Structure 1
Amino acid sequence: MSMPNIAAQTLQRQILSGTYKTGQMLPGQRDLAESLGISRASLREALSMLEALGFIRSMPGKGTLVTSGRSNPAAKAKATSAAPSSAELQSTFQLRYIFEPDAAALAARVINVHTTPRLWGVQARFEDALKTVDLVSASQADLAFHQLIAELSGNSGLLQISRDFETRISHSLRLPFADHSRIWEPAEEHRAIAAAISAGDADGARAAMQVHLLHTAARAGISFLQP
């Protein structure tokens, strides 16, 4: 696990435990980076993750505010200057809508008794993380679920696209978690996708993935032109 991810998990745990309470400002970045033993660049990346996940909000000229984890327009629009713009997010969701449904359909055509447990294993990791509101781990399992489907499609090009755009896809996956009251919705949609793939239902898998991507974009406050 990368240093930014480790730092994000540490800060997430401190927020959930009440070390940093809702409405409280986090320490300054220099002090926070020193306390975590990481560089300020790694800290900024960790803070970007947490803002996208709805735990904090950057307040220009003031610092970083711990939020309630409810719908956070600031996080949905753009977490930090390093985060993708709304136009980039629209492009990312549109790209995902073009290739991920077909990846799911292909995976359904070639799924077997050896690969099915891998799919449900990643889904179990996702749900286990959600149970403890470990959204850093949940977003990582979310990415793993989608990349595994690309792998299971048997098409190396689809898997390469997924990996090439991993940073942008990861951010698009985090944004819907900003509203902590809706964190189980993607898990339910994942189950529908996994069930269709496991049953060898290519059309059902494609449709379930399309629904999931449209709902994910909507939860993130993003709309895009469908092909």
Structure 2
Amino acid sequence: MMKLDLNVEGTAPSPSPDLPRERREASVGVAQATVAALRSMIRDGRLRPGDTLPPQRDLARDLSVSRATLREALSILATIGEIVAREGGRGFVCADPSGAPATPSWRFAARYSLSEVYQFRFIVESYAAELAALTHTNQEIADLKECTTTFRNAAREKDLNAYAQADFDFHNLIMRISRNKLLVDMHQTFASVLLESQRLPTERRGNLLFAVQEHDRILEAIAMGDPDGANYYMRKHISMAGSRAGLPPSQLP
């Protein structure tokens, strides 16, 4: 089995922020389609619990995708707990669904569907990140770094309450940095709904550090004054967070 080209935290490389937005978004769309194809292989029994996934080169060839796209798809599946890394980090095996927790209930279902919440976040928070890249101060970047440190520590300690709160605080701070008072007020108005959407992924099996790394990329783009990159990485983060919360690919923003 060929060792997957993942970084030390276990995630696949992301498209470069130097790429045009259209190419970035196309790469995300192909990755999501690859995720759907792999999930179909798992659900129709071609890949069964405990099976080792074929080598990257074979999977990429069979699915007619690049190795980079395949790595991205595998990262998503590992994030949502459908595959797990083999001991020593050499490849992946299909997870045993009997050992996975049920998809947590969404307690705001009478008011908004979970997919509606992630659609809202996808639109609003990506634009806020774009504005934040244009309006931030050095102190605000330092505050965002402090949020990511708290988030990372909570992930490593598996303190799920602190993890969800640090996640919310990071996004709330980006709203404030955007300098758009209506966005800030909207985020505060729906704070309980948004915090709950950020708590759901902690109830499902998966590596908590994936979201931390996504925050790192958003922060880096904001700090570099790159509005397109900040928008792109926030949209990608929200979409992947929706996967971790239990949304099927067809309902992801």
TM-score of Structure 1 vs Structure 2, range by shorter chain: 0.5 to 0.7
Aligned to 1:108: 133
**Unmatched runs of 5 consecutive residues or more in structure 2:** 1-98
Aligned to 2:206: 181
2:101 to 51, 67, 72: 72
The CA distance in 2 between the partners of 1:200 and 1:72, in whole Å, is 40
2:108 to 62, 80, 84: 84
2:118 to 74, 93, 98: 93
Q: Deviations over 1:152-176 (max 9, x none)?
A: 0011111111111111111110111
Deviation of the 1:225 alpha carbon: 6.2
Amino acid at match of 2:209: W
**Unmatched runs of 5 consecutive residues or more in structure 1:** 1-69
Amino acid at match of 1:93: Y
Identity of aligned residues (%): 30
The CA distance in 2 between the partners of 1:155 and 1:97, in whole Å, is 17
The CA distance in 2 between the partners of 1:74 and 1:199, in whole Å, is 37
Deviation of the 1:220 alpha carbon: 1.3
Give the TM-score normalised by the residue count of structure 2: 0.57
Q: SS at the partner of 1:84?
A: coil
User: How do residues 23-102 of structure 1 correspond to structure 2 at under 5 angstroms?
Assistant: 71-75=100-104, 78=105, 83-85=107-109, 88-102=113-127
The CA distance in 2 between the partners of 1:113 and 1:167, in whole Å, is 29
Aligned to 2:163: 138
Aligned to 1:208: 233
The CA distance in 2 between the partners of 1:187 and 1:225, in whole Å, is 20
Contact map agreement 1:71 1:178 (CA 8 A) in 2: no
Q: SS at the partner of 1:73?
A: coil
Provide the aligned C-alpha RMSD in A: 1.7
1:199 to 184, 209, 224: 224
Contact map agreement 2:156 2:209 (CA 8 A) in 1: no
Deviation of the 1:94 alpha carbon: 0.8
Deviation of the 1:141 alpha carbon: 0.6
Deviating beyond 6 angstroms after TM superposition, the runs of 4 or more aligned structure 1 residues are none
Deviation of the 1:177 alpha carbon: 1.5
Q: SS at the partner of 2:113?
A: helix
Q: SS at the partner of 2:162?
A: helix
Aligned to 2:185: 160
The CA distance in 2 between the partners of 1:84 and 1:71, in whole Å, is 23
